[in-house]
Structure formats: structure tokens, C-alpha cells
A and B are shown apart, each in its own frame.
Chain A
């Protein structure tokens, strides 16, 4: 069956460093991969989309890569800030829709 896995542990990093979150998938070939941010008690908010034929996508301090050979997406936040602390979810779209379990990121001042 299809499976999506994100960093299982919470990720703590120092302010100013680059946070890297991982999303791995198996038994699936998504056409699109999206990353969302979710704050406690709120609905997820869309951040970035990357298509299967794209290697990298950037938006301000965010960068997403998509490696269909290794079935992995990496999500980077450069120059991280305490306000970036949240849970980040990857989402895959093909003929079905799947969310990862999320990675909780804490940026320490």
C-alpha cells in the first residue's frame, strides 16, 4: 500500500540555521507534491507545490526539492526564525491524495 513518511521526531534548531525536513514515499508516483504549515489548533496552510518534472522550487526563504528516483522530497527553511515553529506536512497528489504525518519544528531563539 502507499506510504508517506516524514521525520518522525520533532526537529529543534537554533535561530538563523537552516531547517531541513524530509518526506519519503513508497508504492506511489505522485504527479505533484505540496508542503503545508499547520499551527496548533488551526487548519493547514499551503506553502509550496513542486511537480514531478521539477527538481527544485523556491519561495523566499523556502526551498523544496523532489527526487523521483529516490522517492524523496526535502523542504528547507533558510535563516530560520522562531516564527517558523510549526508542524509541516507534505501532501502528494496523483490519482489519490495522501498527507504525511507531519514534522514538528521548533526554532530556538
Chain B
């Protein structure tokens, strides 16, 4: 049981390049999230999904796109990378369907992105 897996762990992009951060979970969780974390700041929600085919914007969605074609995968797309997108990105999942709700988010190990 791998939990939430993110790739790549590190990436350097040039301004204007595009890339996709991959996120896969093997826990059959219906809710998935993308956060970014800047130094000294909390986690900011970028996008989230409540199930396959459904996505919605979070607090800081500009410059990003997501898709959710399967329960397992929730990739985050960066188009036209900018230095302001330099950050650590975390993917998380949550099983809201269980009756014994604990509110526990399961996080990946993060993807550190630098835009130069």
C-alpha cells in the first residue's frame, strides 16, 4: 500500500515552460487535493476533486489546471511557468465516504519546483 505518490520530487523549469506534476493514490479515496507551500507560509489549496470527472478551484488556482479522469490519478498542469510558481507542491487524498470520519488527509512527499 503506497498511499499517495507524487512525481517528480524535484524539477527546475525555465520561465514559460510547461509541465505536469503527477499524483496517484491507491487507497480508493474519492477526494483529492493539490496544495502549494511557500517558505514560512501555510498550505494553500490550488484545486481539489470530489471524484472522477469533477474538479473545482481552491484558493490559488491561477496558472494551474487539473483533470481527474480516474479515481487514482489527479495530475496538476502548470502552463507558462513563472517564478511565482516556485514552491513545494503537495498532493493529498481523503476518504469522505467512511462513516467513522476522522478527517484525515493523506499527503504525498511533495514535489519541489523551481522556476528560473
Q: How far is the CB of A75 from chain B (nearest CB, A)?
A: 15
In the complex, residue of chain B having the shortest beta-carbon distance to the beta carbon of A1:
B59
Number of interface residues, chain B, beta carbon within 8 A: 22
Q: Are B42 and A89 in contact (CB under 8 A)?
A: yes
Within 8 A of A (CB), among B49-100: 58, 90, 92
Residues of B within 8 A of A89 (CB): 42-43
Instruction: Please pick, from A34, A98, A101, the residue contacting B103 in the complex, using a CB distance under 8 A.
Output: A34
Residues of A within 8 A of B41 (CB): 101
Q: Does A61 contact B (CB under 8 A)?
A: no
- Of the candidates A4, A42, A46, A96, which one forms a contact with B42 in the assembled complex, judged by CB atoms under 8 Å apart? A4
A97 to B42, CA, bound (A): 12
A99 at the interface (CB under 8 A from B): yes
- Interfacial chain B residues near A109, Cβ < 8 Å: none
